[in-house]
């Protein structure tokens, strides 16, 4: 159940990051239904990390989380938790940048940050609560 | 109780104890793995934040071109939403400009250096701009791209670089190529700034400049206003220095 919920959140995040990546490369401004800061955030220097669009990093991050969720082994669970915690930390930084430095809110980015928060929680719970591996006979 | 039953009971207790120990060991191992993952994630996020913050600073290369010397005046100063300087500065000076206006360029060479050095860098004043665009089509094109530069936190470097390469009024010199050169000299991503120049958001920026100027009765450039905190903006009619000292003394 936890794994399924995490996968659903990752798919939703992949959709958001994919949309923002397409908008970035199209040179367009994201549709911003509630707030009006999507264009400001997208055009700011923070929208790129070492020349790579942050939205594209989001696509890669969500895809990697989905790949880690595909397996139920100990390593895959730890990898999913690592990726989600990293994504959550970076999302927290970007949210701070939006509110304090840019004074502009991008609803897509906030939605992605919330999804990363959910993913971080779910993957940590999954890591800690999974049934112990069956004892090897012998 | 028979000896067989006792043996069976001891065996069951031993198995339960072993299972509990195995479960505790698994839990410990998972916690350790999770702590390791969290630690690694924290290191990765810290590195990403450092790179992200560095990207906000103007690069030395972008300011080293011919027009880059003009932008050097504001190098190292924070800019948010087109407002240059400490966001907590008690006084806001807003300059109403038209990028084609020669007197505005002159003002950038004669008034701005003292204003920036003596008031903005000391944290007493923050500096805003409104790009009016009444002189002609070159003004409109330049103001729109300036809105794109503002979105990237590089409005003031763009304004200064534009003044440094200002051409004859309404000669059609503010072409995309010219504006790209200015943007590059100011450390602005030219593609994105020119892309933003066509957006409704850029139109809104120009309309806001007009509306603010109309509200204050400003009809020429450059015109400065001085505003203490959230108080009303007052149009400077005499010396800017005197108006500033009055506002700061309040």
For residue B116, what is the enclosing H or E element?
none
Query: In the predicted model, is pLDDT for residue B61 greater than 50?
Result: no
Question: Is A121 contained in some domain?
Answer: yes
Question: Is A136 contained in some domain?
Answer: no
Question: Is A105 contained in some domain?
Answer: yes
Q: Residue B176: helix, strand or coil by DSSP?
A: helix
Torsion over CA: A20, A121, A49, B129 (sign): positive
Quote the minimal CA–CA distance from B82 to chain A in Å.
10
Query: In the predicted model, is pLDDT for residue B63 greater than 80?
Result: no
The pair of structure tokens assigned to B153 is: 């936190």
Kindly report the backbone phi and psi dihedral angles of residue B115, in degrees, each rounded to the nearest multiple of 5, phi listed first: -60, -45
Question: Is A101 contained in some domain?
Answer: yes
Of the given ranges (A84-88, B69-73, B215-219), which has the lowest mean pLDDT? B69-73
pLDDT of residue B201: 86
Inspect the interface and report whether the beta carbons of A133 and B26 lie closer than 8 Å.
yes
Question: Is A116 contained in some domain?
Answer: yes
Inspect the interface and report whether the beta carbons of B45 and A28 lie closer than 8 Å.
no
The pLDDT-based confidence of B58 (bands split at 50, 70, 90) is very low
Residues of chain A found within 8 Å of residue B33, distances taken between Cβ atoms: 74, 78, 127
Write the ipTM. Answer: 0.81
The proportion of chain B whose per-residue pLDDT surpasses 90, expressed as a percent, equals 50
Question: Is A138 contained in some domain?
Answer: no
The pLDDT-based confidence of A16 (bands split at 50, 70, 90) is very high
Query: In the predicted model, is pLDDT for residue B209 greater than 50?
Result: yes
Q: What is the pLDDT of residues A85-125, one digit of tens each?
A: 999 999 999 998 888 766 678 889 999 999 999 999 999 99
Of the given ranges (A102-111, B122-131, B149-158, B185-194), which has the lowest mean pLDDT? A102-111
Residues of chain B found within 8 Å of residue A86, distances taken between Cβ atoms: 40-41, 44-45
The pLDDT-based confidence of B59 (bands split at 50, 70, 90) is very low
Q: Which residue has the tokens 């490369």?
A: A25
CB-CB: which of B23, B40, B56 is closest to A46?
B56
Q: Which of A89, A106, A122, A127 to mutate to test the interface with B (most CBs of B within 10 A)?
A: A89
More confident residue, A135 or B70: B70
pLDDT of residue B65: 44
The pLDDT-based confidence of B157 (bands split at 50, 70, 90) is very high
Quote the minimal CA–CA distance from A124 to chain B in Å.
7
pLDDT of residue B221: 93
Contact B137, B179 (CB under 8 A): no
Q: Which of A45, A77, A95 to mutate to test the interface with B (most CBs of B within 10 A)?
A: A45
Long-range CB pairs of A98-103 (<8 Å, 24+ gap) are: A98/A37, A98/A41, A101/A46, A101/B56, A101/B80, A102/A37, A102/A40, A102/A41, A102/A44, A102/A46, A102/B80, A102/B81, A103/A37, A103/B80, A103/B81
Q: Report how many domains make up chain A.
A: 1
Name the closest residue on chain B to residue A77, using Cα atoms. Answer: B34
CB-CB: which of A48, A101, A128 is closest to B80?
A101
Quote the minimal CA–CA distance from A2 to chain B in Å.
17
Mean pLDDT for A56-66 is 95
Query: In the predicted model, is pLDDT for residue B136 greater than 70?
Result: yes
Quote the minimal CA–CA distance from B1 to chain A in Å.
32
The proportion of chain A whose per-residue pLDDT surpasses 90, expressed as a percent, equals 52
Quote the minimal CA–CA distance from B115 to chain A in Å.
23
Residue A44 lies in domain: 2-129
Average model confidence (pLDDT) across chain B: 87
Inspect the interface and report whether the beta carbons of B45 and A93 lie closer than 8 Å.
yes
The pLDDT-based confidence of B179 (bands split at 50, 70, 90) is very high
Alpha helices (runs of H) in A30-73, residue ranges in sequence order: 38-43, 54-69
CATH code assigned at A101: 1.20.1440.130
Query: In the predicted model, is pLDDT for residue A38 greater than 90?
Result: no
Quote the minimal CA–CA distance from A8 to chain B in Å.
22
Question: Is A135 contained in some domain?
Answer: no
Contact A43, B152 (CB under 8 A): yes
Name the closest residue on chain B to residue A50, using Cα atoms. Answer: B51
Question: Is A137 contained in some domain?
Answer: no
Query: In the predicted model, is pLDDT for residue B159 greater than 60?
Result: yes
CB-CB: which of B30, B40, B56 is closest to A45?
B56
Inspect the interface and report whether the beta carbons of A78 and B45 lie closer than 8 Å.
no
């Amino acid at each position: 159940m936890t794994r399924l919920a995490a996968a659903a959140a990752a798919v939703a995040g992949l959709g958001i990051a994919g949309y923002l990546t397409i908008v970035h490369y199209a040179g367009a401004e994201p549709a911003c239904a509630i707030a009006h800061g999507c264009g400001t955030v997208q055009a700011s220097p923070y929208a790129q990390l070492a020349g790579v669009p942050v939205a594209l990093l989001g696509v890669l991050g969500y895809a990697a989380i989905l790949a880690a969720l595909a397996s139920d082994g100990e390593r895959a669970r730890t990898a999913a938790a690592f990726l989600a915690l990293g994504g959550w930390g970076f999302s927290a930084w970007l949210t701070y940048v939006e509110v304090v430095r840019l004074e502009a809110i991008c609803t897509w980015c906030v939605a992605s940050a919330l999804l990363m928060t959910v993913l971080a929680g779910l993957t940590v719970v999954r890591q800690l609560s999974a049934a112990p591996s069956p004892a090897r006979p012998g | 109780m028979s000896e067989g039953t006792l043996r069976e009971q001891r065996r069951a207790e031993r198995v339960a104890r072993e299972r509990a120990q195995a479960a505790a060991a698994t839990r410990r191992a998972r916690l350790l793995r999770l702590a390791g993952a969290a630690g690694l994630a924290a290191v990765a996020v810290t590195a990403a934040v450092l790179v992200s913050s560095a990207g906000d600073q103007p690069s030395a290369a972008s300011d080293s071109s011919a027009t880059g010397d003009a932008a050097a005046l504001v190098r190292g100063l924070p800019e948010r939403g087109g407002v240059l300087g400490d966001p907590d500065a008690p006084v806001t000076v807003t300059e109403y400009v038209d990028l084609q206006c020669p007197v505005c360029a002159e003002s950038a060479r004669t008034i701005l250096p003292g204003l920036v050095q003596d008031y903005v860098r000391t944290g007493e004043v923050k500096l805003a701009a409104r790009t009016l665009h009444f002189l002609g089509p070159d003004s409109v094109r330049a103001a729109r791209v300036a809105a794109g530069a503002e979105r990237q936190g590089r409005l003031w470097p763009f304004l200064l670089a534009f003044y440094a390469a200002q051409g004859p009024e309404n000669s059609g010199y503010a072409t995309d190529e010219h504006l790209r050169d200015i943007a590059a000299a100011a450390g602005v991503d030219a593609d994105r700034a020119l892309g933003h120049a066509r957006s409704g958001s850029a139109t809104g920026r120009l309309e806001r400049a007009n509306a603010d100027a109309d509200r204050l009765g400003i009809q020429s450039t450059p015109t400065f206003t001085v505003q203490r905190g959230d108080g009303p903006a007052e149009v400077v009619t005499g010396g800017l220095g005197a108006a500033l000292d009055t506002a700061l003394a309040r």
